[in-house]
Amino acid sequence: MGKTFCKIDCQACAYRDSCRGCEATDGHPFGSACVIASCCLGQGKRESGCDCGTCSVKERLIAEFNALGIEDMEEVKDLHALKGSFVNLEYRLPSGQSIRFWDDDKIYLGNQLCKKGSDRCYGLAADEEHLLVSQYGEGGSDAEIVVYKRRS
């Protein structure tokens, strides 16, 4: 496993043996971009690393998710680095077409929160350009789009 720009400890990651880290891949650990690495590189933190606990991208995204005002969603307090394959659920559109929004190999910022008074969850995922809130049942079943929008 390689080194990261953001100082995330990757020892607990299930992909640690297949990921070369962002230092060796210039911020593209699985061949696609990483939202966190892009932030660190944008701040010129290639050698010294940055503390993404205070990452401005992460802070803005938390504020954007909370500003949506989804009534039965818990307050967003943290976002985590998530490989696209974890958040790339399939959604059925009213036309019957199935669609996926994310790149399985890109690293996004996201979280899973409980839906108040329900056994369903909210899934949050975002990159530099878009944010998505979906709700789903156990194991990502019966996924529905709540909000999908371009970030300003």
Structure confidence by residue, pLDDT tens digits, 104-152: 999 899 999 999 999 999 999 999 899 999 999 999 999 999 999 999 7
27-56 pLDDT, tens digit per residue, is 667 777 777 766 666 555 555 555 554 567
pTM: 0.80
Distance of alpha carbon 60 from alpha carbon 15, whole angstroms: 27
Confidence (pLDDT) at 80: 87
